[in-house]
Amino acid sequence: MKILVGIKRVVDYNVRIRVRSDGSGVETDGVKMSINPFDEIALEQALRIREAGSADEVIVVSLGGNECQQQLRTGLAMGADRAIQVDTDEDLQPLTIARALLKITEKEQAGLVILGKQAIDGDNSQAGPMLAALWDRPQATFASGLELSGDTATVTREVDAGLERIEVDLPAVITVDLRLNEPRFVKLPDIMKAKRKPLEVIPLADLGITSEHDLQASQYAPPPVREKGIIVEDTAQLVAELKNRGLV
C-alpha cells in the first residue's frame, strides 16, 4: 500500500509573524520556513505505519514553486521514499489544492492519504475534507490516534465533547491533530541520503487543473495593540469603570 502525505511550506511556528509595511501580505524575506507542524505529524505517522509493515511506500507531495523542494527534501530525510512537487507560483485556494491532490492520489493509486488537520498560515481545515469528497472515499478528521487493521483504519478523534473512536474503510483521507505523535529529528546522514532520493516535478497545468481565484485577500494588518489594563480598588470602582466604557 502507498501512503500519500501532503506537506506545506509555511513560516516556522517559532518565528514572530510580521505584516509587510504596505499591507500586501506576511513578511517572508529572510524568514525561516518549515514544514507545517500538522503535516510533519502526518508524515511521522505514515512512516510509523510503513515501519510496522502495514505500508510499502510513503510519498510526500507539496504544491508550490521550487522553494518548497527544501521542505520536500526534509520529508525525504525524515524517511519518505519519494517526493512530488506540483509546480506553481500561484497562491492556491483549498479546492484547487484538493483537486491537485486528487490527481496525484489517483496517479499513484494511494491506499491512504494523511494530511495535517490545517495549515498554520491559512487555518482553513478544508483541503482534507474536500479531497475526500472529490475522491468519494471516507474521511476521519482531527485524529489523535490511528491504527490500521487490514482494509480498515480505527481513528480516535478529538471533538468538543472529548474523544470518539470511529472505523473507516480504506482507501481514506485522514487529517491529524497535534497529539497523535512526536515527529522524529532529522540526522545529518539522513539529509545526505535524501539528496539521492527521487523528487518528481509536475506542473500544475499538466494535471489539467486551473487555479481559481474566487476569494482574494485585499489587505493584511496586524492585530490591534491591547490597551494597558488598570487596577481597581473595589467592586464599586470596577462596575463604574465598566459602565464608563459601555460594557454593562
Q: What string of DSSP letters covers 142-210? A: EEEEEEEETTEEEEEEEETTEEEEEEEESSEEEEE-GGG--PPPPPHHHHHHHTTS-EEEEEGGGGT--
Q: Is the pLDDT of residue 19 over 90?
A: no
Q: Distance (Å, rounded) from C-alpha 65 to C-alpha 243?
A: 54
User: pLDDT tens for residues 182-199?
Assistant: 999 999 999 999 999 999
In the chain the domains, ranked by start, together with CATH numbers, are 2-244 (3.40.50.620)
Report residue 193 as a C-alpha cell: 541520503
User: Residue 25's pLDDT is what?
Assistant: 81
- The residue ranking higher by pLDDT, 107 or 123, is 107
When pLDDT is cut at 50, 70 and 90, the band that residue 116 belongs to is very high
Q: Is the pLDDT of residue 159 over 90?
A: no
The one-letter amino acid code at 235 reads: T
Mean pLDDT across 146-174:
93
User: pLDDT tens for residues 43-60?
Assistant: 999 999 999 999 999 999
Q: Is the pLDDT of residue 92 over 90?
A: no
Closest C-alpha to 181, from 153, 149, 139, 145: 145
Coil, helix or strand at residue 220? coil
Percent of the chain with pLDDT over 90: 71
When pLDDT is cut at 50, 70 and 90, the band that residue 221 belongs to is confident
Coil, helix or strand at residue 60? strand
By the 8 A CB rule, do 1 and 142 touch? no
Mean pLDDT across 153-178:
93
User: Residue 211's pLDDT is what?
Assistant: 77
Q: What average pLDDT does the chain have?
A: 92
Q: Is the pLDDT of residue 131 over 90?
A: yes
By the 8 A CB rule, do 111 and 170 touch? yes
Coil, helix or strand at residue 63? strand
Mean pLDDT across 216-230:
83
132-155 burial string, b = 16+ CB within 10 Å, else e? bebbebbbbbbbbbbebeeeebeb
Q: Distance (Å, rounded) from C-alpha 248 to C-alpha 234?
A: 17
Mean pLDDT across 167-180:
95
When pLDDT is cut at 50, 70 and 90, the band that residue 27 belongs to is confident
User: Residue 209's pLDDT is what?
Assistant: 86
CB-based burial of residue 190 (10 Å sphere; 0-12 exposed, 13-18 middle, 19+ buried)? Answer: middle
User: Residue 51's pLDDT is what?
Assistant: 95
- Do the strands 9-11 and 33-35 form a parallel or antiparallel pair, or are they unpaired? antiparallel
By the 8 A CB rule, do 98 and 132 touch? no
Q: Distance (Å, rounded) from C-alpha 12 to C-alpha 34?
A: 5
